[in-house]
Every structure is written in structure tokens, then in C-alpha cells.
Chains A and B, each alone.
Chain A
């Protein structure tokens, strides 16, 4: 049973435009949500997080939105840059995290 779902395996966005990565979860007990970025053959690096008491968290070009009623979160990257091309993992949990399958983001020149 997949508790954290990223339904889009890949996404292509023009450089300079907004990239929107989506994630759905099923467990209402989750109280912390994160996004990780992963380059090939490297470990994932933490990008941004949000706790369940908030609905938005912003850090530079990255903003995470949380819709608890819909059990949905999204990561917005604006403006998108070539270095943003990577796999993005959504993760959620309480004491330990559960990852989604990831979405590969391609930033087109």
C-alpha cells in the first residue's frame, strides 16, 4: 500500500518557467512533509519541508504548499533553472519518513 504517491514519473518544463511537482498521501497521522532532490548515483539532499500546522513554506525559488483536507502537497520551483533537472522525492511521516517514487524533472533550454 503506497502511502506517499507521486503520480507523475516525469515532467518537462521550459527554463525560466514554473515547475510544479505534486504529491498525495493517505495517512492522516503524517505531520511532517519534505521534498528531496536527487542526482544520479548520489544520495538525496534535503530541499524544503513543511509541518502539518502550516499550509505554505517558502525558501528562495522553492515553495511547498500543503492541503491537508485533500492530503496533497506540491513543490513549486520558480524560475526553473537547468540545475534543477533531477529526481524529486516527496516524503512524509511522523517519526520516520516514507518516500514517494519520485518525479524526474527535465528543465528544457
Chain B
């Protein structure tokens, strides 16, 4: 089946630094990737929709300048948390759609997630 990887799986950084998280579709091309954040005891929150070759669409309340998303190719999207603070500590998950198929929820494949800890 389709595989989505994320790198790194865990990252610890100091407050004020920037962290880049990669999301790759390993055996298929994804025109659309989604970035989610999971808060403790809460649901997955959709942060933004990343379309290859265009600007990401951010959900309400998500700071565009803080969470930079780049979808440079059909197999790679990156999320950069800029000037990270302890409150940014969370579990970040990406998902990818198969290119060419309908943008339907049943063709969405999730990455394993990245645990970010900001000290």
C-alpha cells in the first residue's frame, strides 16, 4: 500500500530556534498534502492544506508566518516551525493524497508523525 514517511520522528530544540519536518510520499505522487497537529487529550487539528507548486491554505487560527509550509515536489512537503516556543511542543502528522485521484478522504495516507519538544 501507499507509504508516507516523516522525518525526523522526534526532535528536541531550544526555544527560539526553527525546526523543519519533512513529509514524503514514498511510492506515489501526492498533489495535496495535509498537516495536522495533535494536542494532548484532543483531536487531530488540521493546520493547513499543501498543494504542489502553490501556496498552502491555512486553517483559521494557524499562523502562516510561524508554520511555514512548502510543497516543492509531488513527493515532498515540509513544515517549518519558526522561532519555536514550548507551546509549540506537539505531535505533528502529515497526510498525502494520491495524485490523479479524486480528493477524497478515503485515498488519504498518513505519515507516522513527528514528536516536537521545545525546551
Contact check, A41 vs B34: say whether CB atoms are below 8 A apart.
no
- Give the complex CA separation of A36 and B42 in angstroms: 15
- Give the complex CA separation of A42 and B111 in angstroms: 8
Contact check, B115 vs A91: say whether CB atoms are below 8 A apart.
no
Q: Counting CB contacts under 8 A, is A43 at the interface?
A: yes
Contact check, B34 vs A89: say whether CB atoms are below 8 A apart.
no
Q: Of B11-19, B70-78, B80-88, B101-109, which binds chain A?
A: B101-109
Contact check, A44 vs B105: say whether CB atoms are below 8 A apart.
no
Contact check, A89 vs B43: say whether CB atoms are below 8 A apart.
yes
Contact check, B43 vs A99: say whether CB atoms are below 8 A apart.
yes
Known: A89-B43, A102-B43. A97 touches B113 (CB 8 A): no
Label chain B's interface by main secondary structure. strand
Chain B residues touching A, range: 20 to 34
Choose among A95, A98, A101 the residue that contacts B103 (Cβ–Cβ < 8 A).
A95
Chain A positions 90 through 107: 1 when the CB is less than 8 Å from some CB of chain B, otherwise 0:
010101111111100000
Q: Counting CB contacts under 8 A, is A34 at the interface?
A: yes
Contact check, B105 vs A43: say whether CB atoms are below 8 A apart.
no
- Give the complex CA separation of A101 and B95 in angstroms: 18
Contact check, A43 vs B113: say whether CB atoms are below 8 A apart.
yes
- Give the complex CA separation of A95 and B6 in angstroms: 24
Per the CB 8 Å criterion, the residue count for chain A at the interface is 23
Residues of A within 8 A of B91 (CB): 41
- Give the complex CA separation of A44 and B105 in angstroms: 13
- Give the complex CA separation of A46 and B106 in angstroms: 8
- Chain A, residue nearest B94 (CB): A43
Known: A32-B106, A44-B44, A91-B105. A96 touches B34 (CB 8 A): yes
Residues of B within 8 A of A67 (CB): none
Contact check, B113 vs A89: say whether CB atoms are below 8 A apart.
no
Contact check, A42 vs B112: say whether CB atoms are below 8 A apart.
yes
Contact check, A97 vs B111: say whether CB atoms are below 8 A apart.
no
The 6 closest A-B pairs by CB, nearest first: A43-B110, A101-B43, A99-B43, A99-B44, A43-B113, A97-B105
